Amino acid sequence: DTAVSQTPKYLVTQMGNDKSIKCEQNLGHDTMYWYKQDSKKFLKIMFSYNNKELIINETVPNRFSPKSPDKAHLNLHINSLELGDSAVYFCASSQTSGGGQYFGPGTRLTVT
């Protein structure tokens, strides 16, 4: 069974569109994250979220918003997509009490 899954794996869309990426974890973790990996392969945290707090990296545009319907899901909504949003987006989860983070396989977003 896949621990952290993301859909879709690939997403190609035009500038100005609104899109969502879904993430689900079956590890029973209570904290989830979104990371962005750009073309230079740098991984950067975008959000961390549990049922008590949402922490947004100050560099993330407000066009990006996480939505968590329940503890096992953290979806990423992106409004008014721009060329610079093209990247691979990774979801991850962990326990708030600590330990390693477990990552999904990534979603490659291409904005044309």
Partner 1 sequence: DAKTTQPPSMDCAEGRAANLPCNHSTISGNEYVYWYRQIHSQGPQYIIHGLKNNETNEMASLIITEDRKSSTLILPHATLRDTAVYYCIVRVNYGGSQGNLIFGKGTKLSVKP
Q: Which stretch binds partner 1 (CB under 8 A): 18-26, 33-41, 58-66, 68-76?
A: 33-41
Q: Which of residues 58-87 bind partner 1 (CB under 8 A)?
A: none
DSSP assignment of 26-87: -S--SEEEEEEE-TT--EEEEEEEESS-EEE-TTS-TTEEEEEEETTEEEEEE-S--GGG-E
Which among 15, 13, 30 is positioned nearest to 92, based on CA atoms?
30
If one asks whether residue 44 binds partner 1 (CB under 8 A), the answer comes out as yes
If one asks whether residue 43 binds partner 1 (CB under 8 A), the answer comes out as yes
Cβ proximity to partner 1: between 14 and 58 the closer is: 58
Q: Which stretch binds partner 1 (CB under 8 A): 19-27, 48-56, 59-67, 71-79?
A: 48-56
Contact 56, 44 (CB under 8 A): no
Count of residues that bind partner 1 according to CB under 8 A: 31
Q: Which residues bind partner 1 (CB under 8 A)?
A: 4, 29-31, 33, 35, 41-45, 48, 50, 52-53, 55, 90, 92, 94-106
